[in-house]
A and B are shown apart, each in its own frame.
Chain A
Amino acid sequence: METSRDYYTVLGVPPDATPEEIKKAYRQLARQYHPDAQEAPGTAMLFREVQAAYDVIGDAAKRAAYDRTRADVGLSPESAFQIRLQYSRDVLPCIEEEQVLYVLANIQAAQAIQRRQRLPLNLGLVLDRSTSMQGPRLDQVKAATCQLIDTLDKDDSFSVVTFSDHAEVVWASQAVNDPIRAKAKVNAIQASGGTEILQGMLAGLGELEKRRRTQAINRLILLTDGQTYGDEDKCLAQAVEAKRRGISITCMGLGEDWNDTLLDAIASRSGGTSAYVTNADDVSRLFRDQLHGLGTLYASDLQMTVRRSEGMTLKSVFRLTPYLVRLTLDQDVISLGTLQTDSPLTLLLELIIHSHPPGTHRLAQLEITGDVPILERRGERLRQDLTLDFTPQTPSAPPAVPPAILSVLAKITIFQMQENAWKSLEKGDVAEATRRLEAMATRLLDLGEHQLARAALLEAGRLARSGHLSPAGRKTIKYGTRSLSLTQGRSHD
């Protein structure tokens, strides 16, 4: 849906054009569209449009006022963010019943950032060295860590903490001026003992705190292959505290035996991400991806506030990038995480629209706020109205839904079916959970996701016969469905 024609667009000049450039563009267009010069229909209207645009932005005082209103909708040259909305329907029928509307929101960086420009990192690794890590697993993690050390810059701070029943600082937070010594320390890590994640988190966050700066990217990477017992709540409290201090946590679960619920919660509460690593060989690739992601970080602590009218309710919000996740709604304020310079953040909003009389109605105002450390700007904001037309006529044919929304919703539906299957299982309703997994497999086949469909069918079979799932199957389905959104729309890697 296009907002009303932008005056700068009408004249074909950039928003930061000089008065001379504006005047020149106006003269050229005016000659071209002048009713005396052109007979073609529609040119008279174009001429009036050009005239109206020049009347405003050709005048210094009016232009300043116009720029201020543009800034509010995020069109000013200074705005840090851009947002584009797409609706499942542009016009809604006036009916008594509540109806559903889906809105796809694309948020992206509005300012170009030099490719090599990157904030210094304050990066901490917290590595599980419990007995189960022994052998190739730990070897791969050590190798990946050494590769990571080689890619750090002089300005970056780096620390490594290992944990089992207790935590040990392997490399205290500092710049890596002597990579050979750092790697020797990493290679000396030995596996033994249990898995107490809290110990590792406390030591890791302690190291990060020493070098914490607002003008740096503060990030903790937690890697584990096991379950922690009894300290889950304290781990979550630490994640919240870390976020308050501007540190986000990336969680990586290795193998099958780790607690996905806990690791996902630590990641989301701290504004970080989580990943499932089936094979230890993938650790170094994930470390590389992490470092690339940190290098292209644009905005952090991004939030969306939905100021809604009485006429609608926000049912759910999903973030589709970098993977599918249901966002928690806290009084219509939604924490969105981070925004990268090279890829937009995509959201899907599911709205319940109440009955409206015919006409155009403003249903809500979306406000995006966030810090853009790379531009040294904090509390950046952008507002966008959510406006919709209502008509008393009932449509003769089903409305055409934008393909982007359909493709996203097909995946979200499967994601929700998976969520519902786990819910049934928690309630103890094995039959319902089985049925939901089977229905999900059918949908996956429709999408051509044969591998994941097979995993869902196998788990449905196991569930029906034994009443429980295999730990690996559960994780394959969970992390497979949330990555469905990745199969489209990401072309840069």
Chain B
Amino acid sequence: MIECPSCGRQHRPGTLFCSECGVYLLTGGPLRTEPLPESEMPASRADPWAAGAPATAEAPPATLTITVVANGRQIPLINTKECVIGRLDATRGVFPDVDLSPDGGLEGGVSRRHARIQQQRTQYFIEDLGSANGTFLNGQRLTPYLPHPLHDGDELQIGRIRLQIGLH
């Protein structure tokens, strides 16, 4: 048998590439990782866990309140595991849990299924659902489908609609 110089996996003689790590087996040697050009990477690369949940497993905040900054409308979410923020469109069968159409969602560039708030462990996370105009957390645009932790007082921007997060 021959051994992959990179991951140590055993292969039959004559094998040309390691099936596990993809290394070319005749030259061997460690893998060379090229850094991606900065322009191709999303703006936010912060590790959500680093700034995230406390180590002790305490009970999660029971109530999450979303306040629409422009008109002061308060949307309380009690014991919510998951909720979708967006714009209601009955003809296409889209009924988001938090509907921003009364707050000028259409003009504000809110997608039908714009973002999702999920509760995991003791923490709430916000995740952009590949929206047209993006979701911003405290001014930073989120990478689509990558959940980020939410904290009390965070400001969310859904398209152009600004929301304030309250956790109690």
Contacts and interface: CB of A to CB of B under 8 A. Distances in A.
A85 B36 CA distance: 38
Contacts of A413: 17-19, 22
A419 to B, nearest CB: 10
Q: How large is the interface on A (under 10, 10 to 19, 20 to 34, 35 or more residues)?
A: 35 or more
A451 B118 CA distance: 29
Interface stretch (A25-33, A66-74, A295-303, A438-446): A438-446
Interface stretch (A56-64, A93-101, A139-147, A156-164): A93-101
A450 interface: yes
Interface string B37-51: 100111000001100
A99 B120 CA distance: 49
B22 A443 contact: yes
Interface residues of B, number: 39
B92 interface: yes
Contacts of B22: 413-414, 417, 439-440, 442-443
Interface stretch (B27-35, B61-69, B97-105, B150-158): B27-35
Contact of A465 (B91, B93, B147): B147
A402 to B, nearest CB: 11
Interface of B: 1, 11-22, 24, 26, 31-34, 36-37, 40-42, 48-49, 91-93, 118, 120, 125, 127, 130, 143-147
Given A445-B34, A453-B36, A458 B146 contact: yes
Contacts of A436: 20
Interface in A456-478: 457-458, 461-462, 465-466, 470, 472-473
B145 to A, nearest CB: 4
Given A100-B13, A473-B145, A450 B40 contact: yes
A398 B14 CA distance: 10
Contacts of A89: 14
B12 A99 contact: yes
A132 B36 CA distance: 36
Contact of A97 (B13, B34, B36): B13
Interface in A399-423: 401, 405-406, 409-410, 413-414, 416-417, 420
